[in-house]
Amino acid sequence: MAKVQLKNLEKVYGNAFKAVHGINLDIDDGEFMVFVGPSGCAKSTTLRMVAGLEEISGGEVVIGDRRVNDLPPGKRSIAMVFQNYALYPHMKVRGNLAFGLKIAGKPKAEINEAIDRVAKILEIEALLDRLPKQLSGGQAQRVALGRALIKKPGVFLFDEPLSNLDAKLRASMRVRITELHRQLKAEGLSSTVIYVTHDQTEAMTMGDRICVMQAGHIMQVATPKGLYECPANLFVAGFIGSPEMNLIDARLDGSSFSVGSQSLPIGPHLEGRLSARPAEAVVGTRPQHLSLVADGPAFTAKLANAEFMGHEVYLHADLEGRRVVSVVGTADFEALGRSEIIRLRPEPERLHIFDKTDGRNVSL
């Protein structure tokens, strides 16, 4: 059993700065939970409190059925993979993998069997007799992962483990880690993961669920699809998605919304969902849902820049003094004929309306 519960968890530093504001979160046994948010949002601080590396100021951390607030890291049934890997430079890979088991007093035969098992899973058999300085970044990351895996912990904790790798290697390691998680679950082994990153691509591609944090608060917890399609507030809407959602100040008037001097109907799909009708609102539309059209109802905007991305083009345009982005197919862009004035139509059923006062999504 490796369920993790955070109950009214707080972190206050000596200067009275409150970094974590009484957060509550249940992480299921075997779940891959990602903490994501901008730098300084306290995601790593929260992880370190779970690990026992940061003192808890208030609330509880429960792992399995044990309250672990006062337990040292070695007694919490956790293993942690750090950003810098923290391999012992004087030990070969085999020694790095074996170190924790030796400290625990495990017999030599059991240690060797565990090393062989982990090395095979991570495809690092050929690296066992190398020193850390002889490893590439990706190889060192796999060894660090192996050192955590060999302990058979209840919970794996990852603190931005891929941030020092180049883009291509990050992508391959994302796949390797998620495949390893599925393999452990299939073998009936405990594989609860808490993974911290500032990279939303990692979050969206790896997590079963994602916890979005900002300034020590949880802004939303949902599946990747749930966050993308149903952001609970302006912060999540602007943080999740690439390119990020267009968030446009607008006025609501009956069944239409206005941006500057231009108006479009809200549409029956959205109108029936509105829980409130703030006169001054923020309308959100994803760039993929802001279409380039030749005729019909649409906003007119001035094209400022076009980024060719291969199979699609990112159009940056000025709409009544507001910058918006539209993602269109290459063929649609070429048919545009390099016009300076373009027509953009948001998909009505995909619009989001946010209360400008508290940022809440009133269209859910």
What pLDDT digit, counting tens, does each position of 201-245 carry?
A: 999 999 999 999 999 999 999 999 999 999 999 999 999 999 999
* pLDDT (mean) for 248-271: 90
SS3 283: strand
Residue type, 347: E
- Out of 232, 259, 293, pick the residue that ends a domain: 232
pTM reported for the whole predicted model: 0.92
Its sign, for the CA torsion 312, 313, 314, 319, is negative
Whether 210 and 287 share a structural domain: no
Whether 12 and 66 share a structural domain: yes
Q: How many domains does the chain have?
A: 2
Whether 265 and 187 share a structural domain: no
For residues 163 and 83, the answer to whether their CB atoms sit within 8 Å is yes
Query: Which two structure tokens, joined as six digits, stand for 153?
Result: 């912990």
- The band of 337, judged by pLDDT with boundaries at 50, 70 and 90, is low
Residues 6+ apart with CB under 8 A from 187: none
| Residue at 362 is within a domain | no
Whether 145 and 216 share a structural domain: yes
* pLDDT (mean) for 310-329: 94
Residues 6+ apart with CB under 8 A from 259: 248, 249, 250, 283, 299, 319, 320, 322
The span from the CA of 353 to the CA of 362, in Å, is 6
* pLDDT (mean) for 159-186: 87
Whether 248 and 224 share a structural domain: no
| Residue at 148 is within a domain | yes
Domain encompassing residue 318: 243-355
| Residue at 360 is within a domain | no
The neighbour count for residue 204, using CB atoms within 10 Å, is: 19
Whether 209 and 159 share a structural domain: yes
CATH number of domain containing 228: 3.40.50.300
Closest CA to 121 of 137, 100, 142, 99: 142
- Out of 232, 254, 284, pick the residue that ends a domain: 232
CA distances from 37 to 18, 44, 223 (A): 17, 10, 15
CATH number of domain containing 262: 2.40.50.140
| Residue at 364 is within a domain | no
Which comes out higher in pLDDT, residue 338 or 361? 361
Whether 101 and 247 share a structural domain: no
- Out of 232, 258, 284, pick the residue that ends a domain: 232
